A and B are shown apart, each in its own frame.
Chain A
């Protein structure tokens, strides 16, 4: 029917053109009728099915047309279409909102099974912003970024955050530490707060959750993640949104028949590299050995007092390896002792670590029609770690469904996840981590032989060779941190659309989390024989002859209830469209924590508080907060190319004192689609789309770590109660009722451009945020009766720009299609002010370095980037050369700490590539970060702190431990006059230098650039053409793939320590730029996955 138009036109023309030649016309008509019949005879029927490439589900409503004609149809409910096309038609065009338009050559084919791919570039898709408000990209005055499920899960990550790395400009994901349950930190556009959290707010199906909760979510359940970079769209979330918002939307179930998906991901995790370790020198501490018993010590070289071999030593400052057989440790009570070849064992430390295996099994069922849908999924993830015995087991289920009854609709989602984690804890002696005790193993020690703690006499507490640190295998068995965590997340959304222009909706959300931690350390009891120090080590294995055992138990519970009510108005007045929203938001959070610590285990292996001696330490904390927000939001559109968006929200929050409880923040943004406004500018073959936009906004954040920080408080005074005498004393921090929220003001400008018919898409943003009224615990005059008070002061400024460039495609040859993208962001956080008369505050860390408490290297310093890294250093001349003593060649420590850089990267560059050929897909993601520095305490810097001190590092064996001149050092000949040092050699380069010198005991020597390149993801998948083999009746889709994560990492040569992405504190702490042995070594991951859709 459609294709009769051209013929009719011709007839019409002919009929009009010449009335007088009726016969001829009749003839012609006859001819034309014939030719029409010919044409009709030359058409043929084409059929096919359109499905989604993401999940295999049928897609209805896809427009199917013949290229360069007006012939076309749309797909039906089952994704089926039928179309008659002229014989000579060349191409079919398939298009759908939010999907990539496809052109397919017809040739002689008559059946087309088309997979529609979610469009990376589509200006017509819908963006989910705050409270599920859907806005068109055109309207958006600030930057947002979307990541779809496929991108997120392509490399088999079982952790949502790891799947986001390098994919969105301005978003920084840091793995704080590798573990079976890794801690990750998520920040958007840098830091805004000195002390309060800088982590982005995560909103899961409309319910705000803390970023750490995201780790309990099954990545396969996620439909998409929308990153609201610009605060003006996030501002509606009130006082928790100042760090940007990440909106996570889970799957709801697609229209169509019942779909069942089954998948398996198996991942192997392997230590990718160790710090640079030396393999040249064995045990020895350079200490003068008291008993010159050749069974225990020997020396090589003329000076017996330097570098003797010491059989029970943890440090590696002994003589060079020579292959001879030496005693290791000392004699046991029965007179036996072990002999080992005095030569380095290859990969001895790396081999301590296992290949971790993670098995992830998923099943999901979904279905739906016009009035409702449902989605049900189960996931089971079992992981073992690189550290032996570490394991993690996560099981979860999610259910989501929706239903529509006329003007009323309802949907809900609920999920339950249980996570069990077991990791090894510190040792019984100095509470050192496993890694530390592994590193304290000289290279000739056959570490892997000490696994059997019971039957191998040299692996027992008494028999272990090391007199200073225990066998690391001990803590794998006897020191465990076990956690059981339950998460329930749910929401119910009810909505009512009484008239076309009005919608009322209410969403109630629930987040429940409970975690039970049981940590224990078993008793360690040395025999009387070894307690007497029979080897003359001056130490029994680890100072203590007896450790009584201890346990820590903690129960935590968090409950968040939210309720958001929204009334939305939508109307078009002529050329002007108006979309208005009025809403209320209620947030209520309850937190409960109880813990107990006890020592002195009575019956071994029974970890219960009743099985302890002495009085257990108990602690309890309850925190409650309620807040209410009322907001209004309006978007005005003019001619569909100029948009103005304004919003305002007022919050009342129980954490603040009554007088300051209410606070308001506004936002506004605008966008202009220049290419629609002035069509002339796209009247060329290059530019397709041009939009400019800008916005400004304000958000507040209440930065009280103690939610009762505005109140005076009294607690039991030190030592009290003494028997029945109780005593309370006032807290030293003044409860300041005047505390206000920290206020972040953001200004943002941006542009979006598309070139060459949307094949190149460029998006760029510039922003600046200023966060004032930082909440700082300020020191005040003690004569006030208090030593500190929380006050609002100080300002942190954050500037940056982002560029997102996407090519779709870069290249297309036949079935070969290559897409790619580059995203880059520049971020600079700078401290503008702190307090009058105060230019610096330390940013505390809550970490320990081994058994010793670590001192922060992060500061907020006026005029410097945040966090500013300051470390201890040796004395230097004005040009930065190390000043050494003209006799000893040694530098000396300077009292002041020096500024050496900042902890947060300025530059983050992500590169994405995606190559498709028929069913094959090869994709990769690489990331670069740079501009920041890291202090590698794993190397050294504080007394006894690192692997230089141990002498096991390659760094400490440079120059073969011969005398040397400290490179670039100078000598002060007279005050202020320095000459290059060519004469003063450091004579002893063994333990005395790496252990005791000011060079090794200052942090500057272990400071390196934190820059890196990482090949984050490489993925190869093949979609098996199941239709061809199985007819597509039962099995609709099958895919196999292999992938790798962090396969490659490039760092500057100076950083031969560890992954600079790590940090020695938890993700909630702002003090970054410090790594030590509490993080396990970096790993690479690889594996395979299988996906089936039925």
Chain B
């Protein structure tokens, strides 16, 4: 009896001591995945990037400052925008989101270590470069070399020099293109469903990479003494080419008309259950500069970007217009943003349409500019005409509509009649990129001052004559990464220009 009891006790003690396995039971999280393959990360990472860059809430200031949109008179004018008084709290979501979504591409890079997975790795590198290019264009010096290193214990990454970042990104893009060109024959197929941008077409990815590169180099075209660098950088990948007509980089995981599943641009304006609009739809109105420019040139896209306020009448406001000089139009005298339920080809398209990353017409405009500037070979006029044609197509118009438009005897339209080709290209690009690529609109203006006819705020108390040239660093960065933000130096929203801004 006693022996049995002793045995029982001893076995209980032994039970306690064989504990390694007992304690290890929870090393796998049963609720969430602890490891995920690149093919599951990629679709979400790509979709998340467009959810930031195509969300008009994040970049409304650009549309409003640069004459494309205005604010309904039923809402008070946003004073900080009218007066150009940016705070560290304004428009900072993109900063956090671009980095956290960028981390997912870092995860793809880290997990795609097998040479067979080089395609995934290349895509991740290209997207990281694309994200970083946007971050630099908005905030200048940003964390780069020490970013995405939390698991190595770097919780306060230093801020790197913007020009150095840009130069390194060019090398990264070159490397990615080489990786795609040198893919092994047994490389992992990137399924059409996993690559929600190019459906597994890696040659298209190479072209996209090259287009991002051209975009970054053309940004620097106004810098003195930069031509040699630009030309040399372009020469290394000249054979790859750029995104051409019909080769737009668009993301569509299969958007649905459901809350949280819609096209990110559309989602800001309309409810997912199809029952109607959200306040934003009655908040934004047409910009007078855009309406006037399109109306003056019989541009059929006017009816796509904006809605007539009555009959076929279109009108817009300037942001911050002085009541005495330009009495603002009331809501019923002013055009709303373009929308036609269920129909694509309007500014606010449909809930299911693809979200743009870089459109073919943007690529064509860039190429046209690069040709004019002598960086690449080609026919600038053909590229320009193709760009406008593709913009018309994007807005649901026909090729003949485009050619009618282009053949007008107007210097603001017709390549041959335009005295300043760059001015023509960038002004047309300004209109075409409305609702598609706000950061590029801002960048083009900052580096070139085009369009030249824009009306800036008439507010007496504005902080500066022209809008800020950058955003301030996020408040949360100032709180949690202070020493590195301080190390960048004093930031003046009007004077601390992005390095490529030569004006």
A959–B369 CA distance with the chains assembled, in angstroms? 75
Chain B 144-171 interface mask (CB, 8 Å, partner A; 1/0): 0011111100111100000000000000
Tell me, rounded to whole Å, the shortest Cβ–Cβ distance linking B111 to chain A.
Answer: 11
Report which of B43, B99, B477 forms a contact with A725, defined as CB distance below 8 A: B43
Chain A 620-646 interface mask (CB, 8 Å, partner B; 1/0): 111111111010000000000000000
Q: Are A787 and B157 in contact (CB-based, < 8 A)?
A: no
Report which of B19, B47, B481 forms a contact with A727, defined as CB distance below 8 A: B47
Q: Which residues of B contact A778 (CB under 8 A)?
A: 480
Q: Are B193 and A786 in contact (CB-based, < 8 A)?
A: no
Chain A 716-730 interface mask (CB, 8 Å, partner B; 1/0): 111110111111111
Nearest to B51 among chain A residues (CB) is: A718
Given contacts A782-B474, A785-B100, 12 further A-B contacts (CB under 8 A): A563-B15, A622-B30, A626-B22, A711-B34, A720-B44, A732-B100, A780-B150, A782-B96, A782-B99, A783-B481, A784-B154, A785-B103
Task: Mark B residues whose CB is within 8 Å of A.
Answer: 1-2, 5-6, 8-9, 12-13, 15-17, 19, 22-27, 29-36, 40-45, 47-48, 51, 95-97, 99-104, 106-107, 142-143, 146-151, 154-157, 193-194, 196, 253-256, 260-261, 474, 476-477, 479-482, 484
Tell me, rounded to whole Å, the shortest Cβ–Cβ distance linking B482 to chain A.
Answer: 7
A714–B45 CA distance with the chains assembled, in angstroms? 12
A405–B95 CA distance with the chains assembled, in angstroms? 73
Q: Are A726 and B95 in contact (CB-based, < 8 A)?
A: no
Tell me, rounded to whole Å, the shortest Cβ–Cβ distance linking B444 to chain A.
Answer: 26
Q: Would you call the interface of chain A mostly helix, strand, loop, or mixed? A: strand
| Of listed B30, B193, B196, B482, residue having the most chain A CB within 10 A | B30
Report which of A586, A729, A734, A781 forms a contact with B104, defined as CB distance below 8 A: A729
CB neighbors of B among A584-632 (8 A): 584, 586, 588, 620-628, 630
Q: Are A781 and B34 in contact (CB-based, < 8 A)?
A: no
Q: Are A708 and B29 in contact (CB-based, < 8 A)?
A: yes
A-B contact pairs, 21 of them (CB 8 A): A408-B5, A652-B23, A654-B22, A654-B24, A711-B27, A713-B33, A714-B33, A716-B44, A725-B43, A725-B196, A726-B43, A727-B45, A728-B36, A729-B41, A729-B101, A781-B155, A783-B143, A784-B99, A784-B147, A784-B148, A784-B150
A90 on interface, CB distance cutoff 8 Å: no
Q: Are A722 and B253 in contact (CB-based, < 8 A)?
A: yes
Q: Are A711 and B29 in contact (CB-based, < 8 A)?
A: yes
CB neighbors of B among A729-749 (8 A): 729-732, 734
Q: Which residues of B contact A729 (CB under 8 A)?
A: 41, 44-45, 48, 101, 104
Q: Are B9 and A504 in contact (CB-based, < 8 A)?
A: yes
Report which of A715, A723, A784 forms a contact with B157, defined as CB distance below 8 A: A784
A870 on interface, CB distance cutoff 8 Å: no
Q: Are B47 and A719 in contact (CB-based, < 8 A)?
A: yes
Given A626-B22, A719-B261, A724-B193, CB of A782 within 8 Å of CB of B9: no
Q: Are A789 and B155 in contact (CB-based, < 8 A)?
A: yes
A655 on interface, CB distance cutoff 8 Å: yes
A625–B29 CA distance with the chains assembled, in angstroms? 11
Given A565-B9, A727-B253, CB of A783 within 8 Å of CB of B142: yes
Given A711-B34, A781-B143, CB of A787 within 8 Å of CB of B100: yes
Q: Which residues of A contact B102 (CB under 8 A)?
A: 785
A301 on interface, CB distance cutoff 8 Å: no
A270 on interface, CB distance cutoff 8 Å: no
Q: Which residues of A contact B48 (CB under 8 A)?
A: 717-718, 729
Report which of B2, B6, B23, B96 forms a contact with A626, defined as CB distance below 8 A: B23
Q: Which residues of B contact A306 (CB under 8 A)?
A: none
Q: Are B23 and A628 in contact (CB-based, < 8 A)?
A: yes
Report which of A661, A781, A785, A838 forms a contact with B156, defined as CB distance below 8 A: A781
Q: Which residues of B contact A734 (CB under 8 A)?
A: 150-151
A320–B323 CA distance with the chains assembled, in angstroms? 46
Given A622-B31, A713-B29, CB of A786 within 8 Å of CB of B16: no
Q: Which residues of B contact A754 (CB under 8 A)?
A: none
Q: Are B23 and A719 in contact (CB-based, < 8 A)?
A: no
A720–B104 CA distance with the chains assembled, in angstroms? 15
Q: Are B479 and A837 in contact (CB-based, < 8 A)?
A: yes
Given A624-B26, A627-B23, CB of A722 within 8 Å of CB of B31: no
Tell me, rounded to whole Å, the shortest Cβ–Cβ distance linking A565 to chain B.
Answer: 6
A653 on interface, CB distance cutoff 8 Å: yes
Q: Are B479 and A789 in contact (CB-based, < 8 A)?
A: no
A35 on interface, CB distance cutoff 8 Å: no
Tell me, rounded to whole Å, the shortest Cβ–Cβ distance linking B318 to chain A.
Answer: 30
Q: Are B32 and A714 in contact (CB-based, < 8 A)?
A: yes
Q: Which residues of B contact A766 (CB under 8 A)?
A: none
Q: Which 7 A-B pairs have the closest CB atoms?
A: A785-B103, A727-B44, A717-B44, A783-B143, A722-B254, A782-B96, A713-B32
Q: Which residues of B contact A728 (CB under 8 A)?
A: 33, 36, 40-41, 44
CB neighbors of B among A673-714 (8 A): 707-708, 711-714
A498 on interface, CB distance cutoff 8 Å: yes
Q: Which residues of B contact A623 (CB under 8 A)?
A: 31
